[in-house]
Structure 1
Amino acid sequence: MTRESPSRRGFLAGIATAGAGAVAGCSTSPLGGDGEGRRGEAASVPPDLVDAVEWPAAPFPATVPESFGADHESRARDLLAAVPADPSLPNAAVAAAIADDRERAAERTATEPSDPWPTEALSARRRARGEAATVRGAYRAATGVDDGSELAARRRAVREDRAALAADLEYRAPSTTAAALAYEPVESLLAACERHLRPTVRYPDDPVAAPFRAGDAVGDVERARAAATDAAGLRDAFRGSRDEPEPRWASLVAAADALDGSVRRTRAEVRRRTGDEAAPVDADLSGTVAQELAVASHRRAETAVGDVERASDAGHHAEAVAEAGTALAAIEARRWAVEGIEEGRYREPPSESSLRSAAERAREAVAEAVDGGDGLASRIALPAVTSLERTADAIDRGYADAGRTQARLRYVALYADAVPAATAFVRERLE
Structure 2
Amino acid sequence: MDVSLGGDEERGYDPAALARLAEGSDPTAPDAFPVRVTEASVERHYGRVRELLEAVPERPDLPNGTVAAELRERRQRAADDVEDREEARTGLERLGDGRYARGEAAAVHGAYRAATGGIDRETVADRRAALRSDLRGFEGEWAYRGGDPSRALVVHAEFEELRERARRGAEAWPPFPADPRADVFRVGEIVRGLENGVATLGDASRLRTRYVEGRDDPQSYRTAITAAAHRLERRASWRRRRRHEFLDRRASEAFERSVEGTPAEYLYHEARERVRGAADEADDARRTGDHATATLRSATELAGILAFDEVVDAVEAGEYGPPEDADRIAAALEDAVAALREAWGTEPVPASVELTRPARDALRDARRRLEDADGDARTVDRAYANLAYVRLYAERVPEAVGAVTDALGGRG
Normalised to the residue count of structure 2, the TM-score between the two structures is 0.91
Please give the secondary structure, in 1, of the residue aligned with 2:119: coil
Q: Which residue in the other structure is 1:27 paired with?
A: none
Please give the secondary structure, in 2, of the residue aligned with 1:47: helix
Partner amino acid, structure 2, of 1:249 = R
Say whether the 8 Å CA contact 1:333–1:415 is kept in structure 2.
yes
Where in structure 2 are the equivalents of 1:17-28 lying within 5 Å?
Answer: none
Q: For residues 273-331 of structure 1, what are the alpha-carbon distances to aligned partners after superposition, in whole Å with 9 as ceiling and x for unaligned?
A: x3511312443122211111111111111111111111111111111111122111111
Please give the secondary structure, in 2, of the residue aligned with 1:83: coil
Task: For 1:114 and 1:326, locate their aligned partners in 2 and report how far apart those are by CA, in whole Å.
Answer: 28
1:276 aligns with 2:254: no
Which residue among 193, 206, 213 is the counterpart of 1:220? Answer: 193
Instruction: State how many pairs are aligned.
Output: 398
Task: For 2:52 and 2:234, locate their aligned partners in 1 and report how far apart those are by CA, in whole Å.
Answer: 47
Please give the secondary structure, in 1, of the residue aligned with 2:146: coil
RMSD: 2.0
Q: Which residue in the other structure is 2:390 paired with?
A: 412
Which residue among 126, 130, 141 is the counterpart of 1:168? Answer: 141
Q: Which residue in the other structure is 2:279 paired with?
A: 305
1:430 aligns with 2:400: no
Q: For residues 206-250 of structure 1, what are the alpha-carbon distances to aligned partners after superposition, in whole Å with 9 as ceiling and x for unaligned?
A: 011100111111111101101110111111121122224111111
Say whether the 8 Å CA contact 1:179–1:252 is kept in structure 2.
no
Say whether the 8 Å CA contact 2:176–2:187 is kept in structure 1.
yes
Q: Which residue in the other structure is 2:42 paired with?
A: 69
Alpha-carbon spacing, 1:286–1:142, altered in 2? closer, same or farther (3 Å)? same
Task: For 1:334 and 1:87, locate their aligned partners in 2 and report how far apart those are by CA, in whole Å.
Answer: 56
Q: Which residue in the other structure is 1:156 paired with?
A: 129
Q: Which residue in the other structure is 1:378 paired with?
A: 353
Structure 1, 340-349 or 354-363: larger mean CA deviation: 340-349
Please give the secondary structure, in 2, of the residue aligned with 1:49: helix
Q: Which residue in the other structure is 2:312 paired with?
A: 338
Alpha-carbon spacing, 1:233–1:398, altered in 2? closer, same or farther (3 Å)? farther
How far apart are residue 153 of structure 1 and its match? Answer: 0.6
Q: For residues 118-149 of structure 1, what are the alpha-carbon distances to aligned partners after superposition, in whole Å with 9 as ceiling and x for unaligned?
A: 11221111111011101110111112323321
Q: Which residue in the other structure is 1:43 paired with?
A: 13
Partner amino acid, structure 1, of 2:20 = D
Q: For residues 50-80 of structure 1, what are the alpha-carbon distances to aligned partners after superposition, in whole Å with 9 as ceiling and x for unaligned?
A: 5312222234212112111110111011101
Q: Which residue in the other structure is 2:104 paired with?
A: 131
Q: Which residue in the other structure is 1:211 paired with?
A: 184
The runs of 5 or more residues in structure 1 that have no matched partner are 1-32
Alpha-carbon spacing, 1:141–1:174, altered in 2? closer, same or farther (3 Å)? same
Task: For 1:316 and 1:392, locate their aligned partners in 2 and report how far apart those are by CA, in whole Å.
Answer: 33
Task: For 1:389 and 1:424, locate their aligned partners in 2 and report how far apart those are by CA, in whole Å.
Answer: 26
Q: Which residue in the other structure is 1:79 paired with?
A: 52
Q: For residues 22-63 of structure 1, what are the alpha-carbon distances to aligned partners after superposition, in whole Å with 9 as ceiling and x for unaligned?
A: xxxxxxxxxxx4768644223345122253122222342121
Say whether the 8 Å CA contact 2:336–2:387 is kept in structure 1.
yes
Where in structure 2 are the equivalents of 1:387-406 lying within 5 Å?
Answer: 387-396=362-371, 401-406=379-384
Say whether the 8 Å CA contact 1:108–1:128 is kept in structure 2.
yes
Partner amino acid, structure 2, of 1:366 = L
Q: Which residue in the other structure is 2:262 paired with?
A: 288
Alpha-carbon spacing, 1:150–1:362, altered in 2? closer, same or farther (3 Å)? same
Alpha-carbon spacing, 1:193–1:39, altered in 2? closer, same or farther (3 Å)? farther
Task: For 1:119 and 1:145, locate their aligned partners in 2 and report how far apart those are by CA, in whole Å.
Answer: 34
Alpha-carbon spacing, 1:37–1:304, altered in 2? closer, same or farther (3 Å)? farther
How far apart are residue 372 of structure 1 and its match? Answer: 5.5
Task: For 2:38 and 2:163, locate their aligned partners in 1 and report how far apart those are by CA, in whole Å.
Answer: 19
How far apart are residue 109 of structure 1 and its match? Answer: 2.4
